[in-house]
Amino acid sequence: MASTRKFDKLIQATASKLAAVRSRDTAALPVGDQAKLAGLGVVVVAKATRLKSSPAAERGAERIWTGAESKLQAELAAAQAAKAAVLAEEAAAKVAKKSSGWF
């Protein structure tokens, strides 16, 4: 029987990262994105002190969050598909073994 433990751990880790990204936890982002987000935060604060809006910086931050979320969703779907493929392959081998035993 093939072990799907690796896939289960990967799926669980990716799902928890996805939940963290959805709750806007910066620790769930890659380091490069964390740095970009910090830079955009500085721009927002600097403009806010001058009572100006910063729509470009806000759009940039939103782009980072949506990009991270879509990447994690794709990773989660790929891990689930890989696990399903392993299980399907195992089931097909079991059926083939049973059907060849009758002859």
Per-residue pLDDT of 66-101, as tens digits, reads: 999 999 999 999 999 999 999 999 888 888 888 876
User: Three-class SS of residue 20?
Assistant: helix
Model pTM score:
0.83
Residues sharing a CB contact under 8 Å with residue 54, sequence separation 6 or more, in sequence order = 43, 44, 47, 48
Q: In which residue are the tokens 């959805």 written? A: 22
Per-residue CA distances from 23 to 18, 26, 84 (Å) = 9, 9, 28
Determine the pLDDT at residue 8. Answer: 95
